[in-house]
Amino acid sequence: MKVLQLFRTLHRTRQQVFKNDARALEAARLKINAEFKNNRNETSPEKVAELVKIGHDVEVLLRTSVIQGVHTDPNTIKLKPRKDVLLDNIPFCDTPQRKS
């Protein structure tokens, strides 16, 4: 059940991350399907748990790290970040603050 849920989650994430990029959508679809097909006959619970963890890590990496870019002219790329990628920018503090 967890494997099927991961499969669906990866495909949903792929559709969000590579939205409007047919080539990337297809490449990601083929890669996801190939990885699941290659490990379809795995029966060891430890190996299955390890593969599921890797799949979850890949999903988080795609969701939080990949940013789409669109060429606006030969020397310019416009980035289109999603909300999952944008984080609060907290500056580094050289002197630790005491908690009250």
Q: Is residue 20 part of a domain?
A: yes
Q: Is 20 exposed, middle or buried (0-12, 13-18, 19+ CB in 10 A)?
A: exposed
- Tens of pLDDT along 50-84? 999 999 999 999 988 888 888 899 899 988 888 77
CB 14 within 8 A of CB 29: yes
Q: Which two tokens stand for residue 19?
A: 């939205």
Domain that holds residue 23: 2-80
Q: Is residue 35 part of a domain?
A: yes
Q: Is residue 93 part of a domain?
A: no
Tell how far CA 11 is from the center of its chain: 10
Q: Is residue 68 part of a domain?
A: yes
- Tens of pLDDT along 6-52? 999 999 999 999 998 899 999 999 999 999 999 999 999 999 999 99
**What is the number of domains present in the chain?**
1
